[in-house]
Amino acid sequence: MNCQEWEERVALHAAGDAGTEEGAEIERHIAGCAECQVVWSELKQSLEWLREAHQEPIAPAHYAAVRARVIAQLEMERTPWWRQIWVYGLGIAAVAVAMVVAMRPHSQAPPSAAMKPPAVERVADAGQGAGSRPGGLPHKEVGRRKRLPHQQAETILVKLETDNPDVVIYWIAEKKGD
Amino acid sequence: MNVLAVLEMAAPVERPDEAARAIAAAKAGDLAAFEGLMRQHERLVLATAIRLLGKLEDAQDASQEVFLRLYRNLGKIEAVQNVPGWLYRVTVNVCHDMTRKRPAPVAMEAVPELADLGADPQQSASQAERRRALQMSLRFLSEKERTAMVLRDLEGLSTGEVAQVLGSSEATVRSQISKARIKVRAFMERYFRSNI
């Protein structure tokens, strides 16, 4: 048996994993083999350093982070469906309202002649000639737009996203006038 | 030494009746009791995962998965003494699953280039550098060699206990840890050249 073949046995014995008899045999070989003495001491040294390197304590915060994640996950899984249903109910109701509004026919009739934007009312002094006023100042024509009685409302749809990706709340409002 | 006795030693000391009560309460859905159970075994799980995966963030993900599996399988654990052995087994499985999703380990031939990272050989032989190199050395082992070495040489289980955790024979484990030790020594020799 050459030293290459002894190496595995020496490695096994380096941490006391060879049996008593095998261990004694390995030690006898090491005692008479300079090459295996080097391998033996290097193996023991590298094992000692390996253990030292991995003895660094883990910060308590790292353990706490794992615990918190596990407990949060378990609490989420344990929450009964009926305690979450209001969230889903609200979401479904909001979607239903949004759909009703979206599908509603335009009930407002097209603007009739009476609802047409009024002509600009001219404010002018009939008795005076255009462009002249008693004070001699130049006359100005003032345009005044009357507010429509049934001005068409603008629908605003606000989409609210919640923490739960399955729940989206739609808020529908009507914006009247400017 | 009795296998279970050693496995029990790996966990922080707690009276068996207290541990049994904690398990019973956790089985009944008491999350506070389960948190106590996690505290009792968290070192075992997180330290083993760090040694197998080499990265804290990955090890925390693995630990989370291990404890979730523990909670879901509490009913299958019959005795308190079985918990550490079960945790070692599941930790190894979860870490292996995570390792398989990551790129293959670096070949041993890449070691000389790594050695070049330390500019000064004397400086590179410092304790911190040595620690880093030794932590890195486990990455060059095969999955089975690394697991066997971590459980035997770092976690302190016997070859019989390692075989039980891995579901293989003791002869196979002895061969794996022997090869792993030779590779780590070779790594250190390459890494530090004449400094070892």
pLDDT: which is higher, B27 or A113 = B27
CA dist B32 → A70, B23, B39 (Å): 12, 11, 11
Residues β-bridged to residue A170 = A159
Residue indicated by tokens 């009792």: B40
DSSP string for residues in A87-131: HHHHHHHHHHHHHHHHH----SPPP-GGGSPPPPPP---TTSPTT
d(CA A148, CA A15): 95
Query: Which H/E stretch holds residue B123?
Result: helix B121-124
User: With an 8 Å Cβ cutoff, is A176 touching chain B?
Assistant: no
pLDDT digits (tens, 9 = 90+) for A10-39: 999 998 898 889 899 999 999 999 999 999
Please choose, from the candidates B99, B91, B190, the residue with its C-alpha nearest in 3D space to the C-alpha of residue B143. B99
d(CA A56, CA B44): 14
Q: Are residues A15 and A91 in the same domain?
A: no
d(CA B179, CA B65): 30
pLDDT digits (tens, 9 = 90+) for A87-113: 777 888 888 888 888 887 765 555 554
pLDDT: which is higher, A69 or A111 = A69
Residue A49 covered by a domain: yes
Q: Are residues A156 and A93 in the same domain?
A: yes
Q: Which two tokens stand for residue A66?
A: 């794992």
Residue indicated by tokens 């060059």: B140
Residue A157 covered by a domain: yes
Residue A143 covered by a domain: no
Which of A7, A13, A50 is the mutation pick for testing B, counting most B CBs within 10 A? A50
Q: Cα Rg for chain A, rounded, in angstroms?
A: 45
Q: Is the pLDDT of residue A149 over 90?
A: no
Using a pLDDT cut of 70, give the percent of chain A over it. 66
Write out chain B residues lying below 8 Å of A11, CB-based.
Answer: 177-179, 181-182, 185
Domains and CATH numbers, chain B: 1-102 (1.10.1740.10), 105-196 (1.10.10.10)
Residues found in chain A: 178
Query: Which H/E stretch holds residue B186?
Result: helix B170-192
Q: What are phi and psi of A141, to 5 degrees?
A: -90, 130
Residue A8 covered by a domain: yes
Query: Strand A168-175 to strand A154-161: parallel, antiparallel, or no bridges (unpaired)?
Result: antiparallel
Please choose, from the candidates A26, A61, A57, A63, the residue with its C-alpha nearest in 3D space to the C-alpha of residue A44. A26
Domain count, chain A: 2
Selection from A117-121, B76-80, B136-140 with the highest mean pLDDT: B136-140
- In three-state secondary structure terms, A8 is helix
pLDDT: which is higher, B137 or B10 = B137
Q: What is the pLDDT of residue A25?
A: 92
* ipTM confidence score: 0.78
Q: Do residue A12 and residue B63 have CB atoms under 8 angstroms apart?
A: no
Write out chain B residues lying below 8 Å of A42, CB-based.
Answer: 185, 188-189, 196
Q: Are residues A97 and A30 in the same domain?
A: no
pLDDT: which is higher, A172 or B116 = A172
Write out chain B residues lying below 8 Å of A7, CB-based.
Answer: 182
Residues β-bridged to residue A159 = A170
Min Cα separation B21/chain A (Å):
19
As a whole number, the mean pLDDT across chain A is 75
Residue type at A78 in one-letter notation: R
Which residue in chain A has the smallest CA separation from B181?
A11
Which residue in chain A has the smallest CA separation from B56?
A62
Residue A169 covered by a domain: yes
Q: Print the domain residue range for A29.
A: 3-53
Mean predicted confidence (pLDDT) in A128-154: 53
pLDDT: which is higher, B121 or A61 = A61
Please choose, from the candidates B90, B91, B79, B82, the residue with its C-alpha nearest in 3D space to the C-alpha of residue B4. B82
Q: Are residues A101 and A24 in the same domain?
A: no
Selection from A60-74, B111-125, B135-149 with the highest mean pLDDT: A60-74
Q: What is the pLDDT of residue A52?
A: 86
How many other CB atoms are found less than 10 A from the CB of residue B145? 21
Residue A139 covered by a domain: no
Which residue in chain B has the smallest CA separation from A15?
B153
